[in-house]
Amino acid sequence: MELAITLNKNLPEPLHQQLYEQLRQTILNGRLTPGERIPSTRFLAKSLSISRFTVTTSYEQLLSEGYLETVKGRGTFVCQQIPDNLIDSNPIEIIEKINPLPIKLSKYGNTLANIKNVPRIAEPELQINFRYGTPALSEFPIKIWRRLLSHYCNANLNWLDYSTEPSGYQPLRKAIAHYLTRSRAVNCEPEQILITNGTQQALDLILRLLIEPGETIAIENPGYLSARIIFETQGSQIVPISVDNSGLVVQELANFKDNIIRLVYVTPSHQFPTGAILSLPRRLELLSWAQQTGGLIIEDDYDSEFRYGEKPIPALQGLDKSDSVLYIGTFSKVLFPSLRIGYLVLPKSLVAIFTRAKWLCDRHLPVLEQQVLAEFIESGHLERHLRKMRSIYDQRRQVLVKVLKKHFGKRATILGEKAGIHIMVGFKSDLSDEEIIQSATKVGIGMMSANPHYLANHPKGEFIFGYGDLTETQLTEGIRRLAQIILCS
Ligand SMILES: Cc1ncc(COP(=O)(O)O)c(C=O)c1O
Which among 224, 338, 448 is the best mutation to test ligand 1's pocket, defined by most ligand atoms within 8 Å of the CB? Answer: 224
CA of 340 to the centre of ligand 1 (A): 10
Instruction: Give the C-alpha separation, 148 to 369, whole Å.
Output: 9
CA atoms within 13 A on the CB side of 413: 9
Q: What are phi and psi of 342, to 5 degrees?
A: -135, -175
- pLDDT averaged over the chain? 93
CATH class of 128-138+385-487: alpha beta
Which residue, by CA, sits nearest to atom 13 of ligand 1? 133
Exposure string over 126-161, b if 16+ CB within 10 A, otherwise e: bebbbbbbbbbeeeebeebbeebeeebeeeeeebee
337 lines ligand 1 (CB under 6 A): yes
Which residue, by CA, sits nearest to atom 14 of ligand 1? 133
271 lines ligand 1 (CB under 6 A): no
330 lines ligand 1 (CB under 6 A): yes
197 lines ligand 1 (CB under 6 A): no
Per-residue pLDDT, 98: 46
CA of 120 to the centre of ligand 1 (A): 13
**CA 296 to chain CA mean position, Å:** 23
CA-based torsion, 137, 123, 445, 420: positive or negative: negative
Which among 272, 299, 328 is the best mutation to test ligand 1's pocket, defined by most ligand atoms within 8 Å of the CB? Answer: 272
Atom of ligand 1 nearest to the CA of 198: 9
Query: What are the start-end ranges of the E strands in 259-315?
Result: 261-266, 296-301
Which residue, by CA, sits nearest to atom 7 of ligand 1? 199
CA of 426 to the centre of ligand 1 (A): 22
CA of 341 to the centre of ligand 1 (A): 11
Other beta carbons less than 10 A from residue 226's beta carbon: 16
Exposure string over 240-268, b if 16+ CB within 10 A, otherwise e: bbebeebbbebeebeeeeeeebbbbbbbb
- Report the SS3 class of residue 184: helix
Angle between helical axes of 41-48 and 52-64 (0-180°, round to 10): 130
DSSP calls for 302-344:
SSTT-BSSPPPPPPHHHH-SSS-EEEEEESTTTT-GGG--EEE
354 lines ligand 1 (CB under 6 A): no
300 lines ligand 1 (CB under 6 A): yes
pTM summary value: 0.82
What CATH topology corresponds to 15-103? Arc Repressor Mutant, subunit A (1.10.10)
CA of 266 to the centre of ligand 1 (A): 12
Q: What are phi and psi of 237, to 5 degrees?
A: -85, 130
Domains of the chain by residue range: 15-103, 128-138+385-487, 142-381
CA of 437 to the centre of ligand 1 (A): 23
Is the Cβ–Cβ distance between 67 and 60 less than 8 Å?
no
Per-residue pLDDT, 468: 97
Is the Cβ–Cβ distance between 371 and 114 less than 8 Å?
no
CA of 339 to the centre of ligand 1 (A): 12
CA of 204 to the centre of ligand 1 (A): 13
Q: Give residue-wise pLDDT tens across range 374-423.
A: 999 999 999 999 999 999 999 999 999 999 999 999 999 999 999 999 99
Per-residue pLDDT, 99: 53
Which residue, by CA, sits nearest to atom 5 of ligand 1? 302
What CATH topology corresponds to 142-381? Aspartate Aminotransferase; domain 2 (3.40.640)
CA of 356 to the centre of ligand 1 (A): 24
Least Cα distance to 46 among 79, 5, 13 occurs for 5
14 lines ligand 1 (CB under 6 A): no
Instruction: Give the C-alpha separation, 397 to 391, whole Å.
Output: 10
Per-residue pLDDT, 85: 54
CA of 148 to the centre of ligand 1 (A): 26
167 lines ligand 1 (CB under 6 A): no
Other beta carbons less than 10 A from residue 285's beta carbon: 18
CA of 424 to the centre of ligand 1 (A): 16
pLDDT along the chain (489 residues), means of 10: 84 90 86 89 92 93 90 89 56 48 86 86 87 93 98 95 97 98 95 98 98 98 97 96 97 95 97 95 97 97 90 90 97 97 98 98 98 98 97 97 97 94 96 95 95 94 97 98 92
201 lines ligand 1 (CB under 6 A): no
Instruction: Give the C-alpha separation, 340 to 168, whole Å.
Output: 13
Is the Cβ–Cβ distance between 68 and 83 less than 8 Å?
no
Q: Do domains 128-138+385-487 and 142-381 have the same CATH topology?
A: no
Instruction: Give the C-alpha separation, 230 to 265, whole Å.
Output: 12
Instruction: Give the C-alpha separation, 26 to 39, whole Å.
Output: 13
CA-based torsion, 266, 119, 422, 433: positive or negative: negative
